[in-house]
Amino acid sequence: MSNFLLKGLLRPQMFLKALLDENGQDLVEYAAVISLVVLGITVGMTTLANGINNAMSSVSTAINTTIG
């Protein structure tokens, strides 16, 4: 019975210690870097997609004026 009470009392302390541990800092830094990379990729892909769309529209217009 005392073992059960002892474990119950130590768990909140262990949880708080894990929260305050600096090993989690690496995880937060990796998440921040990955977020920035994903944001950069998204912006880059949007710009690339717009460029491709404009190029295809120009080709389509040139074909239509040549044929029509």
| pLDDT tens for each residue of 16-28 | 666 566 666 778 8
Task: Give average pLDDT by consecutive 10-residue segment, the chain, 68 residues.
Answer: 59 64 75 94 94 96 90
Give the per-residue pLDDT at 54: 96
Identify the helix (H) or strand (E) that includes residue 27.
Answer: helix 24-67
What's the predicted TM-score (pTM) here? 0.50
Give the per-residue pLDDT at 44: 95
Q: How far apart are CA 31 and CA 37, in angstroms?
A: 10
Percent of the chain with pLDDT over 70: 63
Average pLDDT, the chain: 81
Q: How far apart are CA 66 and CA 62, in angstroms?
A: 6
